[in-house]
């Protein structure tokens, strides 16, 4: 297995995070990648630095005006009188988030405060001085892993940070600025006629769902905590099946609060059955550890060993697979979770 990581991904260092009405300490810290790098060392994998792909892979998924905002917002923000240390919205437009609606036009106002409200979907995506650089580097990591599989590797791991699965074509949210899993899936489509994305993060992959919701060539499957009680709340329900040509090619498998290893594994197995029925030729796994019972954001109760079971199930599918890192915020356990997952994946 080959793995990829760019050191610039460490640079994103958020200072604030709004949670239930309070400014909380951020959970997406650079120390997350250090723990995951240590786990790779323990299993004998030395990550490679990806090449610089520029913005082309991101533009295959995201709107140009959205990338322009990410690239320029911080410099414009700090020029405002009394600006805070990071770009965060204080106004938001009303927009129906249903994935079967047409995409949004560019923001009508070019003021950075207006654009912050338009392109940042919540208060968990602060833009700091290095956020754009880190997020773009994260897309390079995902692209390099996809290219490794395109070149014949059966398994490749993209240690992405910031994460990506909540990011839509033109909206950041939930610690996610560019959708690495979607970028990897789109890259794989250059060779494979059918690609599946299996998201096993505790949070529904709403951005990935929106991106592929009208397409029949990419199946999206998400195993996650029930959105009735858990972020992202407004999307991720079992009746969301795709739209137009994509109808029937989205599968959501919500889990009730407190679900542990057994229901988690059963849902992953069901998702893999859908992947097989779809006839996927390659697989992207959006891997998060925030379903772990010790995660500070978790409402699920998956154990560390539970991730070995997930890895075994995915490995048994036998598909060329890109594993893209998503969430998981308890630094003391995420390295062990990755180690168990990779051991299970390799059989």
Q: Residue 249: its pLDDT value, please?
A: 99
Q: What is the pLDDT of residue 101?
A: 61
pTM, two decimal places: 0.96
Q: How far apart are CA 134 and CA 150, in angstroms?
A: 24
Return d(Cα 253, Cα 239) in angstroms, integer. 10
Among candidate residues 166, 203, 204, 292, the one labeled active-site is: 166
166 is a catalytic site residue: yes
- Alpha carbon of residue 70 to chain centroid: 17
| CATH 3.40.800.20 for domain 2-62+123-346 | yes
Q: Identify the pLDDT of residue 94.
A: 60
Closest CA to 211 of 100, 323, 125, 56: 100
Residues across the chain: 347
User: What CA–CA distances, in Å, run from 13 to 30, 126, 130, 230, 234?
Assistant: 6, 9, 8, 25, 28
Domain ranges of the chain: 2-62+123-346
Query: Rounded to the nearest 10 degrees, how much is the dihedral formed by the CA atoms of 180, 186, 192, 193?
Result: 140
Short-list 224, 200, 222, CA closest to 213: 222
- In this prediction, residue 97 carries a pLDDT of 53
CA 99 – CA 324 distance, rounded (Å): 23
Say if residues 284 and 195 touch (Cβ distance below 8 Å): yes
> From first to last of its 347 residues, what are the pLDDT tens digits of the chain?
999 999 999 999 999 988 888 888 899 999 999 999 999 999 999 999 999 999 999 999 999 999 999 999 999 999 999 999 999 998 777 654 555 566 788 998 999 999 999 999 999 999 999 999 999 999 999 999 999 999 999 999 999 999 999 999 999 999 999 999 999 999 999 999 999 999 999 999 999 999 999 999 999 999 999 999 999 999 999 999 999 999 999 999 999 999 999 999 999 999 999 999 999 999 999 999 999 999 999 999 999 999 999 999 999 999 999 999 999 999 999 999 999 999 999 98
**Residue pointed to by tokens 């640079």:** 11
Rg of the chain on CA atoms, in Å:
18
Q: What is the pLDDT of residue 23?
A: 87
Neighbour count for residue 265 (Cβ, 10 Å):
17
* Amino acid 18: pLDDT: 83
């Amino acid at each position: 297995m080959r793995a990829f990581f760019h050191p610039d991904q460490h640079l994103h260092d958020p200072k604030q995070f709004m949670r239930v009405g309070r400014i909380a300490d951020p959970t997406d810290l650079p120390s997350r990648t250090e723990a995951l790098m240590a786990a790779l060392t323990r299993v004998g994998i030395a990550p490679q630095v990806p090449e610089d792909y520029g913005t082309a892979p991101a533009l295959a998924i995201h709107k140009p005006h959205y990338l322009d905002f990410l690239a320029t917002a911080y410099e414009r923000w700090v020029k405002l009188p009394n600006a805070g240390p990071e770009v965060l919205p204080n106004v938001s437009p009303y927009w129906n988030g249903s994935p079967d609606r047409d995409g949004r036009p560019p923001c009508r106002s070019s003021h950075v405060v207006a654009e912050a409200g338009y392109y940042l979907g919540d208060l968990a995506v602060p833009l700091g001085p290095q956020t754009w650089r880190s997020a773009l580097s994260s897309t390079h990591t995902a692209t390099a892993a996809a290219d490794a599989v395109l070149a014949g590797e059966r398994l490749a791991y993209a240690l992405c940070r910031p994460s990506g699965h909540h990011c839509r074509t033109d909206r950041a949210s939930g610690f996610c600025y560019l959708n690495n899993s979607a970028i990897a899936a789109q890259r794989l489509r250059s060779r494979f006629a059918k690609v599946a994305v299996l998201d096993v993060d505790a949070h529904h992959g709403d951005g990935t769902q929106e991106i592929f919701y009208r397409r029949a060539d990419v199946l999206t499957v998400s195993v996650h905590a029930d959105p009735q009680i858990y972020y992202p709340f407004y999307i991720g329900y079992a009746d969301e099946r795709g739209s137009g040509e994509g109808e029937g090619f989205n599968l959501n498998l919500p889990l009730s609060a407190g679900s542990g290893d057994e229901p988690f594994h059963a849902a992953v197995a069901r998702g893999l059955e859908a992947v097989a029925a779809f006839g996927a030729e390659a697989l992207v796994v959006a891997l998060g550890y925030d379903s772990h019972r010790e995660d500070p954001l978790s409402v699920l109760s998956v154990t560390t060993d539970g991730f070995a079971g997930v890895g075994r199930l995915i490995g048994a599918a036998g598909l060329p697979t890109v594993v893209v890192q998503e969430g998981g915020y308890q630094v003391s356990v995420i390295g062990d979770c990755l180690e168990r997952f990779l051991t299970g994946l390799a059989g």
